[in-house]
Amino acid sequence: MRPTGSIPRILTASLLLSAARAAADGPYFSSSASAIWQDNVTNATPGDGVLGAFTLETGVDVRWLRSIDFSTILSSGLTATAGCCTTFGGLDSFAFGPRVELRHKAGLGPLAPTLSLGLEADGVLFGDSYRSNLNVAAEAGFSQRFGDNLQLVLDGRVGACAARSDVFSGGFRSMGATLNWDLDETWRLKAIGGWRDGDIVADYAAERTPHGWVPIDTGAYNYAGPWQPVRTFSEPFIAYRGRAQTWSCGAGVSPALGRHTSLVLEFVRYDTGAYDRYVDNVVSAGVVHHF
């Protein structure tokens, strides 16, 4: 099923961006660079083609801020992200798109909760062109401090993706939670949890038969949903799209390297249950700098 309505949503986001930017303060820049290891980038089950991948990623974000009233801020901006997968060139990517967010502080003082609503859109190009897509997402957030050192951040997202191939198209909804604990002015610890329900792509190792390409695991041949052979990996694979739920949990540490710079180290485990079970452990190390 190919999502509909993506282009009007992106145009709406772009118009909001232009209108907000005209009378806003800024621009404010931030940049990031990270190294990411995934031990199951194929989303395969054990024995069916589990492959790891190492990716270097960098991003730039520019924002304009406009005060609506003393407790509400409208931010608009553009984000660009480039990823180089050193293991599989077909997963090299470049993404670019607008962001709009309305943030409201519900009360006075540092312990007052903060609410947010946002809209984002991205055009994403991959080394393997059939993975290239146009995606949009709406986000709602909640942040609450419990004293000077403890903060809870919640977010919910609904999104859709239209790719050049139906296999890589689909939609999702998700929720995430992060608990930040500031040990002092330098060190921050975080606990991470999340849930996602929606379309997911799994890649199975394949072999050629008189009837065409089929997964080596014949049980996976009955996997429901659209599928196609892919050339992304170092051996033949078949990519399937199905609907599944994913639960994630992890932890991180983020020491400050300066007034505007911090190091981010994280480990997150993703556990997906569908027709099969996919587990993906992701380790990342990065630097974020605000200008």
The predicted pLDDT at position 14 comes to: 54
Q: Which domains does the chain have, with CATH numbers?
A: 6-290 (2.40.160.40)
Average pLDDT of span 124-137: 96
The predicted pLDDT at position 190 comes to: 97
Q: Which residues contact 37 (CB under 8 A, 6 or more apart)?
A: 52, 53, 54, 55, 282, 283, 284
Q: Using one digit for the tens of pLDDT, what is the confidence trace for 3-38?
A: 445 545 554 555 455 554 445 687 999 999 999 999
Residue of 264 and 273 predicted with greater confidence: 264
Tokens, residue 40: 């199951």
Separation between Cα atoms, residue 111 and residue 117, nearest integer Å: 20
The predicted pLDDT at position 1 comes to: 42
Which of 49, 17, 71 has its CA nearest to residue 239? Answer: 49
Separation between Cα atoms, residue 141 and residue 97, nearest integer Å: 20
Question: Residue 269 class from Cβ within 10 Å (0-12 exposed, 13-18 middle, 19+ buried)?
Answer: middle
Average pLDDT of span 144-153: 94
Q: Using one digit for the tens of pLDDT, what is the confidence trace for 29-73?
A: 999 999 999 999 999 888 778 999 999 999 999 999 999 988 999
pTM, entire model: 0.85
The predicted pLDDT at position 132 comes to: 96
Q: Using one digit for the tens of pLDDT, what is the confidence trace for 169-188?
A: 999 999 999 999 999 989 99
Q: Using one digit for the tens of pLDDT, what is the confidence trace for 90-127?
A: 999 999 999 999 999 998 888 899 999 999 999 999 99
**For residue 135, is pLDDT > 50?**
yes
Residue of 211 and 259 predicted with greater confidence: 259
Q: Using one digit for the tens of pLDDT, what is the confidence trace for 184-240?
A: 989 999 999 999 999 999 988 876 555 555 565 544 445 567 888 898 998 888 898
